[in-house]
Structure 1
Amino acid sequence: MSEQENSKQLLHLVFGGELDDPSTLHFRDLEDLDLVGIYPNYAEAHKVWKAKAQSTVDNAHMRYFIVHMHRLLDPENEGK
């Protein structure tokens, strides 16, 4: 079995956008969301998330997020 077949893909989505109020999760404009990409594991997603978040540090309303897509795709196996 190859290394790729041996390791389980745990997909993560990185996206961001401007919030109406930094204390909420309500986006100003859903059409203006920055869909950064989908990554095969949390470590890769975190690197990209950190770079995007740091590049927008001057905008207090801009937030980037990591979505654990594997939890949405296969919720029954989350604890395994």
Structure 2
Amino acid sequence: MTETTESKQLLHLVFGGELTTLKDIQFRDLNNLDIVGIFPDYASALTAWKSKAQQTVDNAHMRYFIVHMHRLLDPQNG
């Protein structure tokens, strides 16, 4: 059996960038977004997110996000 038949892939994107203010989610420079990667499940995405967030803890304007791509790809079952 393949991994996709054993457990459903729930893709998650981790990315981040520097925000213009702490009040809104508006990126300072879209050309400098940090695309960390796409992960097969939430647990591995969370691990990557924590690592990046920890690396940038000294910059209050730097934020990383987890996007539930599986919800965008299949909104009926997300």
The reply to whether residue 74 of structure 1 matches residue 74 of structure 2 is yes
- Tell me the C-alpha RMSD between the 2 structures: 0.8
Distance in 2 (alpha carbons) for counterparts of 1:76 and 1:3? 24
Distance in 1 (alpha carbons) for counterparts of 2:77 and 2:47? 25
- 1:57 aligned residue: 57
- Give a deviation string over 1:34-80, Cα, whole Å, max 9, x none: 000000000000000000001000000000000000000000112xx
Per the normalisation by structure 1, the TM-score is: 0.93
Q: Which amino acid aligns with 2:7?
A: S
> Tell me, which stretches of 5 or more residues in structure 1 are unaligned?
none
Distance in 2 (alpha carbons) for counterparts of 1:66 and 1:58? 20
Which segments of structure 1 move beyond 6 Å, counting only runs of 4 or more? none
- 1:45 aligned residue: 45
Distance in 2 (alpha carbons) for counterparts of 1:3 and 1:49? 27
> Tell me, which stretches of 5 or more residues in structure 2 are unaligned?
none
Per the normalisation by structure 2, the TM-score is: 0.95
1:3, distance to aligned residue in structure 2 (A):
5.5
